[in-house]
C-alpha cells in the first residue's frame, strides 16, 4: 500500500511539517510508503500531472493499492487522479480530503473529509463526504490543520446517519493514523 500526498499551493515546508506531525506516533512503518507529489503552483490542480507522477514513481503501478491524502487545492487534482488511476485498472483504498472546500467528492472508494472548522465540514459535506469524517473544534485557520495535525483537536464523526453525532474527540493526526491503520488491516 502506498500513501500519496497531494499538497495544495503553499511552501513545501508546510507539507514536511504535516508528515512529521502525522508520523509522530505509531505509524513510522509507513514512512517508506509515502510519496509526496512535488507540484508547484497550479500543478496541484492537475490530475494528469499527478497520474504521471504515480506512474513514474511506483514500481508495479497498478498492483499497489493507493491511499490519497490531499489538501486544499490539491484535492482538486487528487480526486481526478484517483478516478483516472481506477480507470487504468489501479485500486484506490481510500481518499482523504483535508479542507477541500467546494470540491465535489464522489467515487467508488471510501472518502473521508477533514475540515478546519464546523462550517467548512457542513458546507463541504453537501458536495459529498464519506461515512467517517473529522472537523476541528475549536476551529483553527486553514493552514493549521496541514501544518500541525498533531495539535489540531476535533471530532471524528459518523455522517452515515445524517445527524452528525460526535463519535470521538481526538487530534487530526490521530484521526489520520486511525484511518491508515484501518486500511492497512483491510
Confidence of residue 75 (pLDDT cuts 50, 70, 90): very high
Containing structural domain, residue 170 = 2-185
Say what the pLDDT of residue 163 is.
41
Grouping H, G, I as helix, E, B as strand and the rest as coil, residue 2 is strand
Helix (H) or strand (E) holding 38: none
Confidence of residue 32 (pLDDT cuts 50, 70, 90): low
Q: Which of 21-35, 37-51, 158-172 has the highest mean pLDDT?
A: 37-51
**Residue 128 and residue 106: Cα distance in Å, rounded?**
6
Taking 3-state DSSP, the helix, strand and coil percentages for the chain, each rounded to the nearest 5, stand at: 40, 25, 35
Least confident interval from 53-67, 86-100, 107-121: 53-67
Which residue is it, cell 464519506?
130
Average pLDDT over residues 108-120: 93
The angle subtended at Cα 36 by Cα 6 and Cα 108, nearest 5°, is 45
**Tens digits of per-residue pLDDT, 93-109?**
999 999 988 888 999 99
Contact between residue 3 and residue 30 where contact means Cβ atoms under 8 Å apart:
yes
CA dist 170 → 53, 75, 140, 151, 159 (Å): 33, 23, 14, 10, 17
Helices assigned H by DSSP within 88-140: 118-125
**Residue 133 and residue 116: Cα distance in Å, rounded?**
12
Residue count (the chain): 186
CATH of the domain at 84: 3.40.50.1820
Domain count for the chain: 1
Residues whose CB falls within 8 Å of the CB of residue 54, separated by 6 or more in sequence, listed in order: 4, 35, 61, 66, 81, 85
Q: Which residues pair with 154 in a beta bridge?
A: 136, 170
**Residue 34 and residue 29: Cα distance in Å, rounded?**
10
**Residue 86 and residue 83: Cα distance in Å, rounded?**
5
57 DSSP assignment: H
Amino acid at each position: 500500500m502506498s500513501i500519496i500526498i497531494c499538497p495544495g499551493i503553499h511552501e513545501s515546508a508546510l507539507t514536511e511539517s504535516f508528515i512529521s506531525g502525522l508520523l509522530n506516533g505509531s505509524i513510522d512503518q509507513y514512512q517508506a510508503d509515502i510519496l509526496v507529489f512535488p507540484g508547484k503552483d497550479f500543478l496541484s490542480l492537475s490530475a494528469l500531472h499527478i497520474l504521471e507522477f504515480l506512474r513514474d514513481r511506483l514500481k508495479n503501478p497498478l498492483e499497489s493499492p493507493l491511499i490519497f491524502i490531499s489538501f486544499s487545492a490539491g484535492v482538486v487534482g487528487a480526486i481526478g487522479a484517483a478516478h483516472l488511476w481506477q480507470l487504468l485498472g489501479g485500486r484506490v483504498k481510500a481518499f482523504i480530503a483535508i479542507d477541500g472546500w467546494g470540491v465535489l467528492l464522489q467515487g467508488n472508494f471510501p472518502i473521508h473529509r477533514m475540515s478546519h472548522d464546523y462550517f467548512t465540514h457542513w458546507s463541504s459535506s453537501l458536495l459529498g463526504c464519506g461515512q467517517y469524517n473529522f472537523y476541528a473544534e475549536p476551529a483553527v485557520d486553514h493552514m493549521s490543520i496541514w501544518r500541525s495535525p498533531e495539535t489540531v483537536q476535533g471530532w471524528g464523526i459518523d455522517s452515515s446517519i445524517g445527524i452528525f453525532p460526535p463519535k470521538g474527540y481526538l487530534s487530526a493526526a490521530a484521526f489520520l493514523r486511525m484511518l491508515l491503520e484501518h486500511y492497512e488491516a483491510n
